[in-house]
Amino acid sequence: MTTVENATTVEDTATAAATGASATERFRTDKTLAADTPPERVSLLAREVLEAVHATIRKHDVTYAEYDALKAWLIQVGVDGEWPLFLDVFVEHVVEEVANARREGSKGTIEGPFYAPGAPEFGAEGTLPMRDGEPGTPMTFHGQVRSVAGVPIARSTVDIWHCDDEGFYAQFAPGIPEWNLRGRFTTDDEGRFTIHTIQPAPYQIPTDGSTGALIRAADWHAWRPAHLHLKVSAPEHMLITTQLYFPGDPHNDDDIAAAVKPELMLDPRPTADGTGVDVEYDFVLDPA
């Protein structure tokens, strides 16, 4: 992945093609197709998407040169393996909005292309796997999982993953241990958890491939604000997939993935010894 200002040897090899290939392979491994979608539903959705494309062509007098450029770009997205990246950045936030519109509990947001199931398991408190001397500000992240009725949910699962201090994700950039900054925690009898980690950095999505070509052609920026990824679940409750953000990040208001929500903003406080930050955030799960 492309990092912020400080260049590293990882940046030289964490190309969009490699990241895209990893994201594509992960999607094929972890996701299932909606094969039971009835033909009438497929026809409705496909027809309306195509009608929207047709309307855009007519409204803006699209030329053959522009049409051919679109075809070439669509082909290249597939060659680069960047469909998971492109769709998760530019489309998923609307799918998430519709899917979770009726939730009463915690707000969700996009999963993104960098989730990996099967992370190491911990109890109610633990430290995420890290390299020796992992750079970054030490952070303690803790909270409670409750039902919408306010009842603590014991033995719920808090699955967390995030990038490192240079904006790279384990399993999607070379040279990083497989489970670096990834883990699953089980809450105690009061639904509480405590996670020791480092504060993630903002980063640019990979820009040396076809998604980056679109960003440059449209004169957009490629930045995502710093964030934590989480999946929180419990028996007889709905899984919530979300991200949590840090105040003061310059891209909280113009996140390229449009995933930031006010309810997902954290409130970091300095630790008593001044060596890191303490963050508290509670999750409320809807009944299944």
Structural domain includes residue 88: no
123 is written with which tokens?
A: 């109890």
270 is written with which tokens?
A: 């300095």
How remote is the C-alpha of 157 from its chain's centroid? 18
Q: What is the pLDDT of residues 235-246, one digit of tens each?
A: 999 999 999 999
Boundaries of domain holding 168: 97-285
161 is written with which tokens?
A: 């993953």
pLDDT in the model for residue 211: 94
pLDDT in the model for residue 206: 86
For residue 14, is pLDDT > 70? Answer: no
Residue 267 confidence class, pLDDT cut points 50, 70, 90? very high
Structural domain includes residue 61: no
Q: What is the pLDDT of residues 270-282, one digit of tens each?
A: 998 989 999 999 9
155 is written with which tokens?
A: 């033995």
DSSP symbol at 53: H
Residue whose tokens read 């190309």: 15
Structural domain includes residue 65: no
On whether the CB atoms of residues 225 and 251 are closer than 8 A, the answer is yes
Structural domain includes residue 60: no
Give the HSE-up count for residue 32: Cα atoms under 13 Å, Cβ half-sphere.
4
Q: Do strands 283-285 and 138-147 pair parallel, antiparallel, or not at all (unpaired)?
A: parallel
Structural domain includes residue 135: yes
pLDDT in the model for residue 59: 98
Q: What is the pLDDT of residues 185-218, one digit of tens each?
A: 999 999 999 999 999 999 999 899 999 999 999 9
Structural domain includes residue 49: no
For residues 165 and 230, what is the distance between their CA atoms, to the nearest angstrom? 18
Comparing CA positions, the residue from 143, 181, 180, 178 lying closest to residue 160 is 181
For residues 15 and 40, what is the distance between their CA atoms, to the nearest angstrom? 40
pLDDT in the model for residue 6: 35
CA dist list (Å): 69 to 87, 134, 248, 277: 19, 43, 38, 48
% of the chain exceeding 90 in pLDDT: 84
Structural domain includes residue 167: yes
Helices 83-90 and 16-30, axial angle in degrees (round to 10): 80
For residue 96, is pLDDT > 50? Answer: yes
For residues 257 and 275, what is the distance between their CA atoms, to the nearest angstrom? 32
For residues 41 and 24, what is the distance between their CA atoms, to the nearest angstrom? 25
Q: What is the pLDDT of residues 218-227, one digit of tens each?
A: 999 999 999 9
Q: Do strands 192-198 and 203-204 pair parallel, antiparallel, or not at all (unpaired)?
A: unpaired
Based on the structure, what is the number of domains in the chain? 1
Q: What is the pLDDT of residues 33-88, one digit of tens each?
A: 656 889 999 999 999 999 999 999 999 999 999 999 999 999 999 999 899 999 99
pLDDT in the model for residue 214: 96
The residues near 82 (Cβ < 8 Å, ≥ 6 apart) are 16, 20, 23, 24, 206, 209, 210, 211
For residues 264 and 259, what is the distance between their CA atoms, to the nearest angstrom? 10
Domain CATH number, residue 244 = 2.60.130.10
pLDDT in the model for residue 1: 36
DSSP symbol at 251: T
Structural domain includes residue 66: no
On whether the CB atoms of residues 106 and 284 are closer than 8 A, the answer is yes
